[in-house]
Amino acid sequence: MRFLFEQPLNATILYVSAFYMVAIAFLPLGLVEEKNSHIAVELLVERFPGRVQKLLLICATLITAVVTAAVAVRTGQEALAKYATGAYSIEAGGKVITWPTYFVLPVGFGLMSVVSALKFVALATGKDSGLNSLNIEDPYLPKDTPNV
Amino acid sequence: AENLNFAYGYPSTSAIGLAVDDYAAAVKDRSNGEISVKGFAMSLLSLPETSPGVRDGLADVGFVLTPYYAAEYSTNLYLHEMNLLISLAQTPTGKEPLAFTGAMLEYTFNKCPECLAEFKAQNQVYTGGGVTPLYNLLCKDVKATTVEDLKGKRLRAGGAGFVRFAEHFGAQGVRLPTNEVYEALDQGILDCAMLSAPELTNYNLHEVVTDITLGVPGGAFAGVAAANVNADRWKAMSVDSREALLWGGSQMTASTTWNFYTDDAVAIQNSKDKGIKIHDPEPELTAAVQAFVKQDLKTVAALFRDTYGVARAEEIAADFPPLLEKWYGLVEGVDSKEQLQALYWDQVISKIDPATYAQ
Amino acid sequence: MSELQIAGLFIGALFFLILMRIPIGVSLIAVSFGGLWSMFNWNIAWGSLGIVPYNFANSWVLSSIPAFLLMGFICYHTRLTQGLFSAAQVWLSGLPGGLAIASVFGCAGFAAVTGSSVACSAAMGKIAVPEMMRHRYSAELATGTVAAAGTIGALIPPSILMILYGIISRQSVSQLFLGGLVVGLMTLIAYILLILVRVKLNPELAPPVDIKATRSEKIRALGQTWPVLLIVIGVFAGLFGGAFTPTEAGAIGAMLSALVAALYGTLSFRALRMAIVETLTTTASLLIIAVGASLLTRFLALSGIGDALSSSILAFGMSPVLIMVGVVLVYLLLGMMLEPVGAMLLTLPIVLPLVDETGYSLLWFGVVLVKLLEIGMITPPMGMNVFVIKGVVGNMASLTTIFRGVFWFVVVDLLIIALLIAFPEIVLFLPNLYGM
Ligand code: NA
Ligand code: NA
């Protein structure tokens, strides 16, 4: 990278870790939940009868909503504290404000919580959640079932 | 009986890990076996997590590095920035870090209510500090002993001050985490790393380093609160227990600093044995470094006053050098860890009243 | 209840939640929180939620993972990899499971560029698995091969785990790298033999590709591989020429892939958008698990599991080999639940002195340890490499399928571990030859 820019990239590490990595780790959580792409083990549940499966799914969605809401609240408190102290990092040019990066967590976990709460309501009442999964069709794969 | 968990983000065999062992023994002894301390090396809290971790009680005691939280610890951090003064010592003896530790300890406890308030705001009680050995240039296939040598070189810089140093000498300051220095030197991404000699062993850098220039850029790392105690835990303790922790604080401070000091000598000797070339800087480079330091101390004072909100920056800059001079004298006769601990205890920490401190 | 019993109870709860199809990351966070709360108090549990997630993600080294994911997704969506696999198909058509073998080689190639096995599986997962599935390989073989072969990423240098081990145990990193190179290549050969044998015994796993190619067709097929070769050579040249570090290699690889795709004429806005969206969702779905695992490590550290570990290792007996068997079993067990860095930080302060006493060298142990931790990356229920493959293949295969697919690779890994314990010279001869 230095060859490309030939400039001292003093705050590169800060920008990559505190801004880019924190954002990419947490902001898409809601989108992942919406696409049902969170990683879970189906091994046991897929053998249960349909009604039991549905009941378990409702429980799982509720637990997800509650746990992520708790993390959102706690990281939100932390972010407000960082905002109050005006958290920054000392870099060669002076200071780089870092408190906004802390707000990524309550936003990311909060979105995940909201999406799973909507899913829970939809599942429990049998109504459409209104969530339109952002399903991107993959043109490159054969449509026929794979050789499982 | 009390059980305290001590979290530190270094390996258990490092200078700091061994110091925590000393701390545990000292506290147990002083409290007549009432307080047991259990060390957690890296597993409980990482370095940046230690300050908030002690605040929230995940650990009862922690080895806190203030530079991770510049906004929260700006005054403490400013004291650390005074470390450049070490490079101006008239007759360097190698014991400058021991003296700097004492001066910083005394200033923090007695003359810096803002510093203690900063710890209080993070729900912590300061009981000791610690300082690393001098920074050197650890180079691969590069001999850097003159001002001319430094021009255009790529130097690993741990903090903003080092970037200013590099730029002042026409070099390029590259911010890299210490654990990437090995490969960066090996691959020629860096010419030199500005690090203290024990890192040669800690990070196996002696495998790639070929040349070392001693005492350039100079200065040391002093942004250390070596044994911060969770304030809730502290307030719930008996006066005797608090006294034992203050005693432990003097031990932790002395052990950390002494272990680094002796590691430094060992690391440099090992490097010689391994055939690494050890250079002293040419007098013109030493003079240029000192000129930079004088100028940079002014830059730092202005930065901390105007940008980082340390109102007393100039006052501290005036108060600190005489205190450091006093400590240069105090550490002159010190030849062991025990003497160093006794010195820090007698001169500073014994005068703290455990009944009223940090209430 | 003792702290250790509480820990046991909550580990049981963790297995239960995961088996009830609660997302793994959510299960880990919930169990660690509950465990800290019941073992200590609300403040500590509540505090941990505020501290760990931010500081875990705030990492420079971690940034190579989304970068390698992006590189894999770009290569896949712009069809850069088709040529490579057509060539592999033509050249390896006589070989049972030729594409799976080509994937193992591909993983070994990426291993030399990246320091972590997650990054390695991420880069190869999207490139190789869909190609194998298109050729009607069994989903188990296709996914299992890449998940397992990804582990070579941390054995062949550079390796983040070995650097970390070197720092903690004060062993020479370059000697660890040399030992790791041997074990990495051993693993590579063993995996290829395994694929050959399994496909020979059960040709259904990988239907033979029936192509009679002439010599000139074979050569033409080689010409089709230029896009991927260009990317790999570019990354290698930069890495070894000193232009960037392994952490930066992923970002360079992603940029280079986009550039090559533009040259190749397949870079569309749509392809780029899909690659970016998939990189975002895959990264987040992996990191929430890693954050949860990191929280669990704190809970286990505070529960005093360390002392329990050393007594259970010693329970196997006092002879060096028996102690090593104990160490292996403990790491296999830990590997089921923890990610490697957490497992290493949690156990090394206890295990290193034990190993030192057995007379086995700490250099040798570092290499064996990394191999053991990498086995943990593919064993259920917490197998990060398997999760990565799941993340990149989406609905093409279930987690269960992938875990089934890695089974025989784990068996082979255990054989390798047994060999390393029986003949430590396998690890040590190269470092000894080179060093000292
Ligand atoms: Na590697
Ligand atoms: Na596992």
Angle subtended at Cα B118 by Cα B115 and Cα B122, rounded to the nearest 5 degrees: 145
Q: What is the mean pLDDT of residues B337-355?
A: 98
Residue B273 Cα, ligand 2 centroid: separation in angstroms?
Answer: 44
What is the count of structural domains for chain A?
1
Q: What is the pLDDT of residue C55?
A: 94
- Interface contact B175-A95, CB threshold 8 A: no
Report yes or no: C203 at the A interface, CB cutoff 8 Å.
no
Interface test with B, best of C245, C297, C363 (most B CBs within 10 A): C245
Residue numbers in A near C33 (CB within 8 A): 67, 70
Mean pLDDT of chain B: 94
Q: What is the pLDDT of residue B314?
A: 94
Q: Is the pLDDT of residue A2 over 70?
A: no
- Interface contact B57-C166, CB threshold 8 A: no
d(C-alpha B271, C-alpha B136), whole Å: 13
Residue A144 covered by a domain: no
Which tokens in the block code for residue B213? 């220039």
**Contact pairs from chain A to chain C, CB under 8 Å:** 183
Q: What is the pLDDT of residue B263?
A: 93
What pTM was estimated for this model as a whole? 0.90
Task: Assign C338 a pLDDT band (cuts: 50, 70, 90).
Answer: confident
Neighbours of chain A (3+ CB pairs under 8 A): B, C
Q: What is the pLDDT of residue C423?
A: 95
Q: Distance (Å) from the C-alpha of residue B186 to the closest C-alpha of chain C? A: 8
Q: What is the pLDDT of residue C172?
A: 83
Residue B326 Cα, ligand 1 centroid: separation in angstroms?
Answer: 52
Neighbours of chain B (3+ CB pairs under 8 A): A, C
Report yes or no: C240 at the B interface, CB cutoff 8 Å.
yes
Q: What is the pLDDT of residue C349?
A: 80
Q: Is the pLDDT of residue A6 over 80?
A: no
Which residues have CB atoms below 5 A from the ion given as ligand 2?
C 335-336, 376, 379, 382-383
Q: What is the pLDDT of residue A93?
A: 66
Q: Distance (Å) from the C-alpha of residue A103 to the closest C-alpha of chain B? A: 17
Interface test with C, best of B187, B195, B274 (most C CBs within 10 A): B187
Residue A32 covered by a domain: yes
Partner residue facing C297 (CB), from B43, B52, B53: B43
Q: Is the pLDDT of residue B266 over 90?
A: yes
Q: Is the pLDDT of residue A132 over 70?
A: no
Partner residue facing B308 (CB), from A10, A95, A99: A95
Q: Is the pLDDT of residue C226 over 90?
A: no
Report yes or no: B303 at the A interface, CB cutoff 8 Å.
yes
Q: What is the pLDDT of residue A137?
A: 42
Q: Distance (Å) from the C-alpha of residue C132 to the closest C-alpha of chain B? A: 36
Interface test with C, best of B43, B44, B68 (most C CBs within 10 A): B43
Q: Round the CA-based radius of gyration of chain A to a whole number and report it.
A: 21
Task: Assign A131 a pLDDT band (cuts: 50, 70, 90).
Answer: low
Cβ count near B15 (within 10 Å): 23
> Do the bridges between strand B172-174 and strand A88-91 make them parallel or antiparallel, or are there none, so unpaired?
unpaired
Which residues have CB atoms below 5 A from the ion given as ligand 1?
C 111, 153, 156, 159
Mean pLDDT of chain A: 82
Residue A35 covered by a domain: yes
Task: Assign C237 a pLDDT band (cuts: 50, 70, 90).
Answer: confident
Q: What is the pLDDT of residue C435?
A: 58
Residue A50 covered by a domain: yes
Q: What is the pLDDT of residue A5?
A: 39
| CA-CA-CA-CA torsion sign (B98, B99, B102, B104) | negative
- Interface contact A92-B71, CB threshold 8 A: no
**Contact pairs from chain B to chain C, CB under 8 Å:** 96
Task: Assign A129 a pLDDT band (cuts: 50, 70, 90).
Answer: low
Q: Where in the sequence is the domain holding A94, given as residue range(s)?
A: 12-126
Residues contacting C227, CB < 8 A, separation 6+: C80, C83, C260, C261, C263, C264
Q: Is the pLDDT of residue C148 over 80?
A: yes
Report yes or no: C333 at the B interface, CB cutoff 8 Å.
no
Q: What burial class does residue B13 get, using C-beta atoms within 10 Å of its C-beta: 0-12 exposed, 13-18 middle, 19+ buried?
A: middle
For residue C173, the chain B residue with the least C-alpha distance is B204
Does the interface ipTM go beyond 0.85? yes
**Chain C 238-277, CB below 8 Å of chain A: which residues?**
238, 243-244, 248, 251-252, 274, 277
- The region of weakest confidence among A128-132, B175-179, B230-234, C236-240 is A128-132
- Interface contact C281-A63, CB threshold 8 A: no
- Interface contact C285-A39, CB threshold 8 A: yes
Task: Assign A4 a pLDDT band (cuts: 50, 70, 90).
Answer: very low
Residue numbers in B near C55 (CB within 8 A): 46, 48-49
Task: Assign A7 a pLDDT band (cuts: 50, 70, 90).
Answer: very low
Residue numbers in C near B204 (CB within 8 A): 166-167, 170-174
Mean pLDDT of chain C: 88
Q: What is the pLDDT of residue A147?
A: 38
d(C-alpha C303, C-alpha A2), whole Å: 45
